[in-house]
């Protein structure tokens, strides 16, 4: 009787699974082929952005002008400035694009750009669950096209999709870029969502983007085309067709319901109170200039292709002369990477790593595996600093509703003269599974300026890790306190990180 019941259960589960597969699969088998190629339209001479950025002092075939966007409110304002100044094209590429106040604000302005004739291409990774209907209605506008990268086949049973096709779906597009008129771009670590732009959120991310003009912008535009036209990018219409185009009334109603105008035009979130706003308005935005290169993975990395970005970075690291400061929110160096950093120290190079503490890390499983390498790194001469959960991120809108801060910037400073900024974390997932992009800019003066405040910032906002009498300790230079265990992390987070460190999941982090 027990055997019969078991067989019956297996049969029922099998039939149910088959029903789910049939019912939830909405991706047309020809979806990858039934699409039209499109490409960027080139640098828009005479455009508003051309007039804003154009200069004759530097060679834009080899140099890029850049403006660092360290603060969340500036990063949001700069995106709005590009969107509202665009006259011909807007290309946006993101891993996460939420449906909250800041993303609604950006979507509204993107829609208004499309209404005035700007061609908009929006490429989103499909790991985040979104409304296919809402995206399809937006894409139905004649000047807007939306595509999803490496989409899940079962749209309403995403867990089932992951289980049935894990090898493919485990690889994601982590690139982040916005390009207007092929004149200016923004790339870096930020996704689109409140926590990335210092707008009221339980967690506020300390992040870094760069606004770019010059040789790297065309490379970013070419990179976007490569992803947009790849076999892995699927038009949203293939997933959700025959929908009514979003209307002006729909957009206005959503804007009014969310109170977008009021929230960003008064009180603590008033854009007009920002220094960057007045720099844009008064044409006073001064860029740093230097030789620059864009590094990026090809979209076929998700099919197992070697990481082009990692190859470039490895070759570059071999040329480091005396120092490297690595900033990565998710730092899982692996045994090989740990040994490489220790070997670099043994050759006389100063290596400093800044990452999240357990209390500030929003992915405690990452911390569990990173923790395995801390003692070896310290004993090998690598400096380790962990950002506090109450770090002052220096945002004008900072801590308006945020109870915890978390490092999210991905940057490297080499030899006090070169800056690496992008989407790549120092972990196996970025190296092996996800696609990434970054810009490398040479500018000793900017690095020197950054270093003037760097030491004071780190001493105030991070713990220095040391090994004393064979044990790991955390030194808070601001208070003088020394901790013998993960500072200000709950017992549950400590247990979670410890257990995660026991699991064979390092290559997934």
Residues with catalytic roles: 174, 176, 181, 408, 410, 415
352 three-class SS: strand
Q: Cβ neighbours of residue 492 under 8 Å, at least 6 residues apart?
A: none
Q: Cβ neighbours of residue 501 under 8 Å, at least 6 residues apart?
A: 368, 369, 371, 372
Q: Contact, 139 vs 146, CB < 8 A?
A: yes
Pairing of strands 383-387, 404-407: unpaired
Strand partners, 475: 464, 482
- Gap between the Cα atoms of 422 and 177, Å rounded: 10
Pairing of strands 203-206, 404-407: parallel
DSSP state of 433: I
312 three-class SS: helix
Q: Contact, 198 vs 397, CB < 8 A?
A: yes
The dihedral formed by the CA atoms of 151, 156, 162 and 167, expressed in degrees to the nearest 10: -20
- Gap between the Cα atoms of 41 and 219, Å rounded: 13
Q: Residue 325: name the closest of 345, 353, 344 by CA.
A: 353
Strand partners, 288: 66
188 three-class SS: strand
Helix (H) or strand (E) holding 148, with range, is strand 144-149
Instruction: Scan for tokens 């025959």, then name that residue.
Output: 242
Q: Contact, 213 vs 287, CB < 8 A?
A: yes
Q: What angle do CA 49, 52, 58 make, to 5 degrees?
A: 105
- Gap between the Cα atoms of 291 and 64, Å rounded: 6
Q: Contact, 453 vs 461, CB < 8 A?
A: no
Please, what is the angle between helix 101-115 and helix 248-258, to 10°? 150
Counting every residue written for the chain, the total comes to 509
Pairing of strands 89-94, 119-125: parallel
- Gap between the Cα atoms of 246 and 505, Å rounded: 43
């Amino acid at each position: 009787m027990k055997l019969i019941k078991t067989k019956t259960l297996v049969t029922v589960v099998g039939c149910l699974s088959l029903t789910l597969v049939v019912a939830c699969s909405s991706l047309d088998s020809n979806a990858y082929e039934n699409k039209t190629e499109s490409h960027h339209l080139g640098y828009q001479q005479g455009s508003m952005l051309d007039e804003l950025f154009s200069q004759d002092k530097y060679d834009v075939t080899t140099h890029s002008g850049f403006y660092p966007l360290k603060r969340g409110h500036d990063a949001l304002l700069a995106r709005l400035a590009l969107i509202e100044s665009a006259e011909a094209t807007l290309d946006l590429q993101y891993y996460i694009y939420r449906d909250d106040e800041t993303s609604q604000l950006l979507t509204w302005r993107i829609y208004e750009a499309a209404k005035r004739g700007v061609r908009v291409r929006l490429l989103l990774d499909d790991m985040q669950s979104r409304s296919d209907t809402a995206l399809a209605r937006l894409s139905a506008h004649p000047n807007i096209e939306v595509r999803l990268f490496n989409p899940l086949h079962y749209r309403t049973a995403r867990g089932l999709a992951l289980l049935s096709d894990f090898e493919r779906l485990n690889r994601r597009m982590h690139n982040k870029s916005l390009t207007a008129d092929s004149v200016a771009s923004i790339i870096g670590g930020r996704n689109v969502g409140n926590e990335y732009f210092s707008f009221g959120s339980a967690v506020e991310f300390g992040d870094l983007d760069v606004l770019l003009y010059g040789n790297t912008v065309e490379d970013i535009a070419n990179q976007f085309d490569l992803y947009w036209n790849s076999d892995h990018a699927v038009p949203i219409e293939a997933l959700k067709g025959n929908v009514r185009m979003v209307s002006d009334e729909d957009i206005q109603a959503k804007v009014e319901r969310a109170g977008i105008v009021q929230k960003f035009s008064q009180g603590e979130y008033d854009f007009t109170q920002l220094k960057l706003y007045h720099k844009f308005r008064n044409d006073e935005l001064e860029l740093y200039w230097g030789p620059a290169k864009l590094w990026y993975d090809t979209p076929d990395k998700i099919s197992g292709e070697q990481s082009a970005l990692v190859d470039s970075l490895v070759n570059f690291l071999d040329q480091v002369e005396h120092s490297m400061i690595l900033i990565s929110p998710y730092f899982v160096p692996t045994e090989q990477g740990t040994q490489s950093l220790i070997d670099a120290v043994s050759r006389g190079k100063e290596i400093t790593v800044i990452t999240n503490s357990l209390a500030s890390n929003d992915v405690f499983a990452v911390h569990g595996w990173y923790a395995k390498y801390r003692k070896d790194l310290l004993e090998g001469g690598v400096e380790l600093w962990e950002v506090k959960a109450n770090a002052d991120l220096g945002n004008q809108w900072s801590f308006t509703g945020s109870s915890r801060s978390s490092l999210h910037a991905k940057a490297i400073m080499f030899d006090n003269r070169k800056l690496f900024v992008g989407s790549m974390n120092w972990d196996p997932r970025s190296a092996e599974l996800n696609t990434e992009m970054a810009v490398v800019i040479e500018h000793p003066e900017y690095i020197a300026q950054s270093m003037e405040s760097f030491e004071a910032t780190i001493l105030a906002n991070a713990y220095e890790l040391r090994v004393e009498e064979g044990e790991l300790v955390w030194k808070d230079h601001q208070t003088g306190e020394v901790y013998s265990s993960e500072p200000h992390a709950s017992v549950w987070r400590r247990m979670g990180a410890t257990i995660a460190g026991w699991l064979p999941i390092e290559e997934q982090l």
